[in-house]
Amino acid sequence: MTSEREHRSRRYNFASWQQAGKQDEYLFIWRFRLSGREVNGWVSHRLQSVESEATPPAIISVWRPARESAASLISIDIYETESRDAARAHLLVLLGEFQGPPLKRLDAPGAVAFSPGPSAILFARANLVVFVRSVERELAPVGQVADQLDRQVTSHPEVVEAGGPDIRTFRPAVSTRLVVGRPIPLLLEAQDPTGQPVYFKLFSRSGEFRLEQGRPAYVPVSPGSHEITVYAVGASGAATRRALSVE
């Protein structure tokens, strides 16, 4: 008997986009947060962090226009998975919740995106899955909002001279020789001056990232010297930067 997952996989040709391929720059988001200021022209009406054994950690939010009618509202759900491949697997799960014809595959936003029409977009970028949908009678510009969120996720934050998080620790958790394909666990800690939570964006051109035992790990995809850049982003949006060389 065909399982539900197998049915969804065939329905959306999952094998063609299941695994994330090599790219110019790898990105990983850890402990992601929304401040409510990410989308121009929209303000957050409700932000809620949700943790469940059945799904990856998520931020469930509702946004209203800054100057327009409250008849137009947008729901933004963001799931933080353990890796880029895990994000694509969870995107497939969300696609299975739609009834009717298969959703249309889009070229953007994200690395993989689908839409049932002008009212909703689902996309995966790095280890995040984003679901943007219009939830009131007046159709909201979900495409514009999804594009803004994608740019926010992939951008290198502007670094502040003072007032940003203090990156107190950023180093390999163990002393080990770099081997292609072998994960290197990372120790990463930062504190915001306000005491509010901090989230992290990790970038590298020579290796992938994934979560192992609740901590980021770096997975080299090529030999040689590697550099990892981390940004710690505070509740106000202020960011600090640190670089780490691994050989």
The pTM for the full model equals 0.94
Q: Which amino acid is at 4?
A: E
Torsional sign, CA 210, 212, 216, 219: negative
Do 103 and 114 touch, CB atoms closer than 8 A?
yes
Going from the N-terminus, what domains does the chain have, and what CATH number goes with each?
4-23+32-154 (3.40.1000.20), 166-246 (2.60.40.1080)
Do 235 and 35 touch, CB atoms closer than 8 A?
yes
- Distance in angstroms (rounded) separating the CA atoms of residues 35 and 42: 12
Residue 213: both structure tokens together: 């035992």
Task: Determine how β-strand 207-212 pairs with β-strand 215-220.
Answer: antiparallel
Residue 77: both structure tokens together: 């759900």
pLDDT tens over the chain, length 247 residues: 468 889 899 999 999 999 888 888 999 999 999 988 889 999 998 999 999 888 999 999 999 988 766 678 999 999 999 999 999 999 999 999 998 889 999 999 999 999 999 999 999 999 999 999 998 878 888 999 999 999 999 999 999 988 899 999 999 998 888 899 999 999 999 999 999 999 999 999 999 999 999 999 999 999 988 999 999 999 889 999 999 999 8
The answer, yes or no, to whether the previous bond of 109 is cis (omega within 30 of 0) is yes
Do 148 and 40 touch, CB atoms closer than 8 A?
yes
Residue 108: both structure tokens together: 């953007």
For 30, counting Cβ atoms within 10 Å of its Cβ (0-12 exposed, 13-18 middle, 19+ buried), the class is buried
Residue 142: both structure tokens together: 């979900």
- Give the DSSP H or E segment for 202: strand 199-204
Token pair 């391929």 is at which residue? 21
Token pair 């595959």 is at which residue? 105
Own/partner contacts of 52-61, CB < 8 Å, gap of 24 or more, are 55/79, 55/90, 56/80, 56/81, 56/82, 56/86, 56/90, 56/129, 59/32, 59/33, 59/34, 61/34, 61/36
Give the pLDDT of residue 99.
87
Phi, psi dihedrals of residue 84, rounded to the nearest 5°: -65, -40
Q: Is 189 helix (H, G, I), strand (E, B) or coil?
A: strand
